[in-house]
Amino acid sequence: MATRDEVERLARQVLAEVLAGGAAPAPAQPGRRTPLVAANWKMNLLAADARAWPLKFEAPAGVEIVVCPPLVLLPVLREALGASSPVALGAQNVHPAAKGAFTGEHSCAMLRDAGASWVIVGHSERRAMFGDTDAFVAEKLRAALAGGLRVILCVGERLAERESGATFRVLRAQLTAALAELGFPAPDPAALVVAYEPVWAIGTGRNATAEQAQEALAFVRERLGERFGWTWAQAARVLYGGSVTPANAAELAAQPDIDGFLVGGASLDPSAFSAVAAATARAKERR
């Protein structure tokens, strides 16, 4: 019996054939998009590490770099990078309220005040460990965009969901919930990035193959096209996140629908993160 993903894949192929020459999804055109490589330090490193990190990081030309340290390190890293640095700063979470009795949380205005211009929303660890539902992720996304932050929206399936053939169903549900109430006009595609992070590959040393990542991100781009139109989807950037290292970055970055990475563990080492960014830049030049 065919899995849900196999049925979905066949349906997409049939639809593309029926609409050939009309509204069928166009192949990705990565040359139009500036690659983005983002670092998620999670709950790691201290102030001394943040001060030293920029000394060993080399930002390649043609790649947008975002670093998301723990919130308390944002001002430290901002000072260490200096005003002329091309590196943008991001936060790992945001609360949708502007202010109030939300102990331990931080608003968009607070993040901007600390130096952040980006924020990660919907990371699988927030969903699994802290109870962030699809509805709450959507609320955070809307608040962040309205609050002047650029967003990296994370989506991805668990191992059991992949093994049961439910990857596309999970991705569709997460994207539909997150994007449903954004309204029109559509957000600036430069301000909304989607990162596919298969949960089974995060911090496990087990990464999706280049083919698996490409298939998932092509599906994500198609869903963005359904929601905001194909011109928007072709301009938007979609990233892969899940045990990205200097060893696998080049093969992954060569895929037409992978516009960069959300890097966890490897981003703690500025030399390793530099290598991932450089591999992304080289792959972009060759495509």
% of the chain beyond a pLDDT of 70: 89
Domain boundaries of the chain, sorted by first residue: 33-286
Which of the pair, 4 or 141, is modelled with greater confidence? Answer: 141
What pLDDT does 181 receive? Answer: 92
CA angle in degrees (0–180, nearest 5) for 218-221-227: 145
What pLDDT does 224 receive? Answer: 98
Least confident of 4-13, 77-86, 95-104, 258-267: 4-13
Give rounded-to-5 percent helix, strand, coil for the chain.
Answer: 50, 15, 40
Q: State mean pLDDT over 30-53.
A: 94
pLDDT digits (tens, 9 = 90+) for 112-171: 999 999 999 999 999 999 999 999 999 999 999 999 999 999 999 999 999 999 999 999
Report H helices in the chain. 4-18, 47-56, 74-81, 108-114, 124-130, 134-146, 159-163, 167-179, 210-228, 230-235, 249-253, 270-286
Annotated active-site residue 106? The verdict is: no
Asked whether residue 6 carries a pLDDT value surpassing 60, the answer given is no
What pLDDT does 14 receive? Answer: 41
Asked whether residue 17 carries a pLDDT value surpassing 50, the answer given is no
Which DSSP helix (H) or strand (E) runs through 119?
A: strand 118-121
User: Catalytic: which of 125, 197, 215, 222?
Assistant: 197
Note the CATH number of domain 33-286.
3.20.20.70
Report H helices in 84-228. 108-114, 124-130, 134-146, 159-163, 167-179, 210-228
Least confident of 46-50, 77-81, 158-162, 210-214: 158-162
User: Catalytic: which of 8, 64, 95, 123?
Assistant: 123
Asked whether residue 27 carries a pLDDT value surpassing 80, the answer given is no
Annotated active-site residue 181? The verdict is: no
What pLDDT does 185 receive? Answer: 86
Q: Which of 173, 111, 181, 99 is nearest to 142 (CA)?
A: 181
Reported as a pLDDT band with limits 50, 70 and 90, residue 68 is very high
Reported as a pLDDT band with limits 50, 70 and 90, residue 12 is low
pLDDT digits (tens, 9 = 90+) for 138-149: 999 999 999 999
Q: Global pTM?
A: 0.90
